[in-house]
Structure 1
């Protein structure tokens, strides 16, 4: 699976995904050619899925984040598929998760203000198909948002 060199590379990559490969190889204590080969292998194995930008929504004026826990009316066979397709089309929905249990789906929704959120909720969320129950949780603070693994 992973050896110590792979783990070192991944630790340094998690800490600073935007660093140049030359800096990454130096930090991991590996030759540049070896670093390239290992990164290619980790991508080929599906361990590295790519790099992405993490956007700090409040810096762009999105000060409100709400988590919606939704239970669907599952009497319709296509309820999940139709709901998910419609939810994907809402631009302010930044994350969709499905669950087994009492709650079927969780949506993360961002808005600029509470008034903006109310418009999104009324005009876009409540019009989504097959909603049987919905619970809104207003985010007050993010205490931990760790996207890294202890390697």
Structure 2
């Protein structure tokens, strides 16, 4: 599906998404029009989903990050759908992942401090539907965060 030029574009685009089209084309040793058309083609194919800003939540005063591993009551037919729909409404939940296995869902929760986390946990998380078990893992340090793949 991808040829060497597409891979070259993706390598440079992943490492420096803020490059202008002209800079990206120059680094890939192709014309700007060719680069633009190939990026559009990869976007249309779903290879490139978009660009996003990476925010340092700690710099904005969010000092507490918790990963919650949730096991749902699977005797309820709509447990996954009801739970994920309700969890999406909690502003402090910044990521929801679903799994096959003992743990069904993982929520990433941000809070300003432990008091704020306690309030969110008691008032918003524990009231989510169909929770059978929940385990909190307090985030200590991010050792690696990299979504760049070797292409």
Shorter-chain TM-score above 0.5: yes
Residues 55-104 of structure 1: CA deviation (Å, up to 9, x unaligned) = 11111111110000000111111111111111000000000001011001
Residues 122-151 of structure 1: CA deviation (Å, up to 9, x unaligned) = 110011111110000001001111111101
1:6 deviation in Å? 0.9
**CA distance, structure 1, for counterparts of residue 116 and residue 92 of structure 2:** 10
In structure 1, the partner of 2:4 is 4
In structure 1, the partner of 2:133 is 133
In structure 2, the partner of 1:58 is 58
Q: CA RMSD in A?
A: 0.9
1:25 deviation in Å? 0.6
Unaligned runs of 5+ in 1: none
TM score, norm. by length of structure 1? 0.97
Judge which range, 33-42 or 99-108, deviates more: 33-42
> After superposition, where does 1:1-150 map in structure 2 within 5 Å?
1-150=1-150
1:40 deviation in Å? 1.3
1:52 deviation in Å? 1.4
1:112 deviation in Å? 0.6
**CA distance, structure 2, for counterparts of residue 136 and residue 33 of structure 1:** 50
**CA distance, structure 2, for counterparts of residue 76 and residue 39 of structure 1:** 44
TM score, norm. by length of structure 2? 0.97
Displaced runs of 4 or more, over 4 A: none
**CA distance, structure 1, for counterparts of residue 144 and residue 123 of structure 2:** 32
Give the 3-state SS of the residue equivalent to 1:67 in structure 2. strand
Give the 3-state SS of the residue equivalent to 2:74 in structure 1. coil
**CA distance, structure 2, for counterparts of residue 33 and residue 82 of structure 1:** 46
Unaligned runs of 5+ in 2: none
Give the 3-state SS of the residue equivalent to 2:100 in structure 1. coil
